[in-house]
A and B are shown apart, each in its own frame.
Chain A
Amino acid sequence: MGKVYKYGDNVDTDVIIPARYLNIADPAELATHAMEDIDQDFAKTVKKGDIVVAGKNFGSGSSREHAPLVLKVAGVKAVIAPTFARIFYRNAFNIGLPILESAEAAERIDADDEVTVDFKTGRIRNKTKQETYQAEPFPEFMTKLIEKGGLVEYVKK
């Protein structure tokens, strides 16, 4: 069960992790600055298992892999949005931050709702509102990569 943090459209990588911190190599230290330019409380209050729900084009902008990484390290269990910027989508997948595309879930879920997610089926359950949403399935190619343990393991073999 995760608490929901809700944001609008076009949340860009510069607000997810501002470039002024990109000289920091330690992911845990980086994560203390996650989302600080749009939500100063996020890094202080986010707990393991929490969920970020946002509007379209989440993760737009820079190719910095630090962006999905700080969300993952901060404890975020999943990001739900109608669409993701393509580099963020790849990066999230490569570093193991689960993301789900669902316009309905992104619209219906409000901040502080309690939500559970089944990544195998893409089912998103909103306990607060007693609703269920179905996310877009991952393409088969990506499911195979996940089964092989991600890109690093895939390359090893």
Chain B
Amino acid sequence: MGVARTTTGTAKGTTKKTTKGTTKETTKKTTKPGMTMTQKILAAHAGLDYVKPGQFIEANLDIVLANDITGPPAIREFAKMGRRKVFDKTKIVLVPDHFTPNKDIKAAEQAKVLREFAKEQKIVNYFEVGAMGIEHALLPEQGLTVAGDCIIGADSHTCTYGALGAFSTGIGSTDMAAGMATGKAWFKVPSAIKFELTGRPGKWVGGKDVILHIIGLIGVDGALYKSMEFVGDGLANLSMDDRFTMANMAIEAGAKNGIFAVDEKTRAYMRAHKSKTTTKQIKVYAADRNAAYDEVYVIDLSKIRPTVSFPHLPDNTKPIDKVGRVKIDQAVIGSCTNGRLEDMEIAAKILKGRKIADGVRCIIIPGTQQVYLDCVKLGYAEIFIKAGAVFSTPTCGPCLGGHMGVLAAGEKAVSTTNRNFVGRMGHVDSEVYLAGPAVAAASAVAGLLIDPAKL
């Protein structure tokens, strides 16, 4: 709507259009703006034909998710709500993935709370250690999240499922409890920023580099309270694993959700990953042609370089060509951001026949048991172990300084995880450099941050 003003690029290969000063006032009486993908999903789940930004609605939920950290407080709040049973035992998903396999006695007690609640409530989609994967890698793989869903999860990276064309957002434990009790959640309808992706990413550039680039561009609160909607011809050049990585980090720009237009790749993914435990209805929502956006960014994927976020904020990004000499002590490849099979494949390509540098600990953690098994079958596990990396079963562990790779004072890690806040992976004086699997694997071999092409 209105006339878009195109300004010069704020970064290489990027143009920004603003739609301020639109014709809203003059056209208000006769036409109303169309809806974004997110607004359409929220309207449908609230039983409304139309919603507008700022409107408060109560939406029906398709999935309500929690883990071993956020689940126990939610279970305590649920008990206070006076309901004996959850609203639908097939729509609650409980995944003990953060401090599991139990890292200590206290963590074991928390996992036990989750387990016992799941048993008592006959929760169908409870994933015990052995079936457990990192929640945001696991749920799409299990077919529990599909296009058109409205999902809340007591974990900030719940926004991952937007890759499938779902509305999906993180909430806290009390909201989770209310969701378990009623099957509903209240939302303020968000406005949106549109990202029109064009071009094809270069070699060793993946979804992680694209999303770090975007966060660097708009800042850690650049999309605060808003949706990030990803559309455009460039989508065809991004795999589903790339898209999961990108949607996953929408929260690192402050967004309420990230969402991708559905295409043939999305449909193929959903066909290949159908739930065995729950009946899911796929519904594809496209944004209206006259949908209103606060801002529009055109991102040329071919111009993006492998990108690294320096301590201590995800928006502190640098292209790999400008990182200087940063020696690392540890490399972590995995997490809900980059623990999928393609990430493992990229790491394997780089580590094949090479050795981890002296003085570097390389920890590779597949996101799910299926990814783990695929790594074994495809020979990646052998490549990792022969290179001198640790190759473990799924856990969130090191990403949040829990276990399986906590940093000491003064240590530096390159990590495919999602946050590089002060103390995130361990000691308050340690440092985390966020990158994609290609940069992380190459850096593990070089012992310092390096362009994979220069290895």
Could you list which residues of chain A lie within 8 angstroms of chain B, going by C-beta atoms?
10, 12, 14-15, 18-20, 22-25, 37-38, 56-57, 60-66, 83, 85-87, 90-91, 94-95, 139-141, 145, 151-152, 154-156
Contact = CB atoms under 8 A, between A and B. Distances in A.
B224 A65 contact: no
Interface string B38-67: 000000000000000000100000000000
Interface residues of B, number: 54
Contact of B224 (A25, A83, A151): A83
Given A23-B107, A87-B172, A95-B172, 6 more contacts: A62-B419, A63-B156, A64-B172, A94-B174, A141-B56, A156-B82
B402 A63 contact: no
Contact of A87 (B72, B156, B178, B188): B156
B419 A57 contact: no
Interface of B: 56, 69-70, 72-73, 77, 80-83, 98-99, 103-104, 106-107, 109-110, 153-156, 158, 170-175, 177-178, 181-182, 186, 188, 220-221, 224-225, 251, 254, 256, 313, 400-402, 406, 419, 421-424, 426, 428
Given A10-B313, A15-B421, A65 B172 contact: yes
List 5 A-B pairs, minimum CB-CB distance, nearest first: A23-B106, A91-B172, A65-B172, A141-B56, A19-B400
Nearest to B73: A65
B99 A23 contact: yes
A25 B72 contact: yes
11 contacts: A15-B421, A23-B106, A63-B172, A65-B70, A65-B172, A139-B188, A141-B56, A151-B175, A151-B178, A152-B80, A155-B178
Given A60-B221, A139-B188, A155-B181, A14 B174 contact: no
Nearest to A157: B82
A14 B419 contact: yes
A12 B254 CA distance: 11
A139 B56 contact: yes
Given A23-B106, A57-B254, A87 B313 contact: no
A60 B220 contact: yes
Given A63-B70, A141-B186, A156-B81, A14 B254 contact: no
A53 B372 CA distance: 46
Contacts of A15: 421-423
Contacts of A23: 99, 103-104, 106-107, 110
A86 B254 contact: yes
A57 B69 CA distance: 23
B175 A94 contact: yes
Given A25-B106, A63-B155, A86-B224, A38 B172 contact: no
Contacts, number: 133
B256 A86 contact: yes
Nearest to B419: A61
Contacts of B419: 12, 14, 61-62
B100 to A, nearest CB: 11
Contacts of B256: 86
A113 to B, nearest CB: 25
Contacts of B72: 25
Contacts of A139: 56, 188
Contacts of A94: 172, 174-175
Contact of B400 (A14, A24, A66): A14
A90 B354 CA distance: 48
A21 to B, nearest CB: 9
Given A87-B172, A155-B181, A63 B77 contact: no
A152 B174 contact: yes
A87 to B, nearest CB: 5
A63 B174 contact: no
Contacts of B177: 152, 155
A63 B418 CA distance: 14
B174 A65 contact: yes
Nearest to A62: B156
Contacts of B220: 10, 57, 60
Given A20-B401, A86-B256, A14 B423 contact: yes
B154 A63 contact: yes
B110 A90 contact: no
B165 to A, nearest CB: 21
A83 B175 CA distance: 21
Contact of A61 (B82, B99, B181, B421): B421
B401 A87 contact: no
A86 B170 CA distance: 9
Contact of B171 (A24, A63, A154): A63
Contacts of A87: 156, 170-172, 251
Contacts of B98: 22
A156 B81 CA distance: 5
Contacts of A25: 72, 106, 109-110
A146 B121 CA distance: 30
Contacts of A83: 221, 224
Contacts of B401: 18-20
B446 to A, nearest CB: 28
Contacts of B174: 65, 91, 94-95, 151-152
A38 B422 contact: yes
